[in-house]
Amino acid sequence: SQKIEQNSEALNIQEGKTATLTCNYTNYSPAYLQWYRQDPGRGPVFLLLIRENEKEKRKERLKVTFDTTLKQSLFHITASQPADSATYLCALGTNDMRFGAGTRLTVKP
Amino acid sequence: EADIYQTPRYLVIGTGKKITLECSQTMGHDKMYWYQQDPGMELHLIHYSYGVNSTEKGDLSSESTVSRIRTEHFPLTLESARPSHTSQYLCASSALQGADEKLFFGSGTQLSVL
């Protein structure tokens, strides 16, 4: 069956450190992969997109990698800040958009 | 800033009632989606649409219907609400741009069925 799996447990890190979140998928062949941020009670907000032929994408303090052989994407937030605390979702681009359950990140001052 | 609106923001109703959740976007996007999300859980795709007069079923489509008569409007209807329908419902839209399909989400409708 098709699955999108993210770190099931919450991630707690100290301010200034790098947060690394994982997204693994099975039985999908996505043309691209996206990362979204979701705050409590709100809809997700788009952050980054990486295509199947791209290895790495950066935007300010964010970095995404995409390994189609491993069927995995890593999402990094460098120099993390308390304001980065949120749930981060990965989504696969196929005919429709499928989301993982997300990883809840808490950055402590 | 995304211009996609959902109403109502919160809704409490009794079992057996028919309800319609509204979703409108002013961005001229062709593609629209409905997702259901329980706290701390993944988004489940309910229905989606490629454009006017197009509707497609997702994973949780059996207990609801949608229509797409106008580009900007994509309402979701539950014919007979049950307590199991208690959840947050998120509407989203995107422009059909090949591999750059970014979704813009509304703020959601929190539905409670008593």
Q: Does A53 touch chain B (CB under 8 A)?
A: no
Average pLDDT, chain B: 91
In this structure, what token pair is assigned to residue A38?
């979701």
Percent of chain B with pLDDT over 70: 94
pLDDT in tens, B102-113: 899 999 999 999
Of A44, A46, A98, the CB nearest to B45: A98
How much is the pLDDT for B75? 98
pLDDT band at B96 (very low <50, low <70, confident <90, very high): low
Q: What average pLDDT score do residues A79-103 get?
A: 91
How much is the pLDDT for A109? 94
How much is the pLDDT for B36? 95
Chain B nearest-CA residue for A90: B42
| Peptide bond preceding B8 in cis form (omega within 30 of 0) | yes
Q: How many CA atoms, within 13 angstroms, populate the side-chain half-sphere of residue B37?
A: 29
Task: Classify residue A82 as left (phi > 0), alpha (psi -120 to 50) or beta.
Answer: alpha
CB B74 within 8 A of CB B30: no
How much is the pLDDT for B99? 53
pLDDT of A78 higher than 70: yes
Average pLDDT, chain A: 92
Chain A nearest-CA residue for B40: A101
How much is the pLDDT for A9? 77
CB A64 within 8 A of CB A14: no
pLDDT band at A97 (very low <50, low <70, confident <90, very high): confident
* A64 C-beta neighbours (distance < 10 Å), count: 24
How much is the pLDDT for B98? 58
pLDDT of A94 higher than 80: no
HEC-encoded secondary structure of chain B: CCCEEEECCEEEECCCCCEEEEEEECCCCCEEEEEEECCCCCEEEEEEECCCCCCEECCCHHHCEECCCECCECCEEECCCCHHHCEEEEEEEECCCCCCCCCEECCCEEEEEC
Instruction: Please give, rounded to a whole number of angstroms, the shortest distance from the CA of A52 to a CA of chain B.
Output: 10
pLDDT in tens, B59-90: 887 789 999 999 999 999 999 999 999 999 99
| Rounded distance between C-alpha atoms, residue B10 and residue B12, angstroms | 7
| Rounded distance between C-alpha atoms, residue A23 and residue A25, angstroms | 7
**A99/B42 touch (CB, cutoff 8 Å), yes or no:** yes
pLDDT in tens, A19-68: 999 999 998 888 889 999 999 888 999 999 998 889 899 999 999 999 99
pLDDT of B2 higher than 70: no
**A49/B100 touch (CB, cutoff 8 Å), yes or no:** yes
